[in-house]
Structure 1
Amino acid sequence: MSYAIETDTPFKGIFDSQLSVDQVDSDVMQFGNEALFDTDNQYKITNKGPATFKLDKKAKTVTITVKKGVKWLLRNWNIHMK
């Protein structure tokens, strides 16, 4: 696949959504930034995305299950597990 953007500003190449403030970078990043959860037209989480979401209000827990075959890159994340 080839992709081109015409712009009159320099390409910064900051592909981290927390650091990027440039629309050009955001336009290029959109192809690799898939949401973990899919939502319907009322923005309610569905189980159609890469992960499923189960809320147990009584136990005050959320269970997130990543579907088989889903891959992602963990970079610059602080993960704390109990």
Structure 2
Amino acid sequence: MDRVQEYRDHARQCELLLEKAEDLRVRARLRRERQEWLELAASREALLRGERWAGERPLDEEMTLTSLRAFEAGRRAAGS
């Protein structure tokens, strides 16, 4: 559960930065990152409960935001 809390803490940091950010591009990036961290937390919680995450796909427990973005970019490229 430590990782779940770590992911939620990162999401909270994004939320706090979002409150201070004025640039619309920065705000959009922070919203996306916050959502990604919350999805990682949900995936990890489901994994710990032995359930399948209700999101569109299960996320690997070790997946970082960088690898998540690379995975998504690869999926988009393969679909083109």
TM-score, normalisation: structure 2: 0.25
Structure whose CA Rg is larger: 1
Which one scores higher on RCO, CA 8 angstroms, separation ≥ 6? 2
- Name the structure where strand makes up a greater proportion of residues: 1
| Structure (1/2) with the larger helix percentage | 2
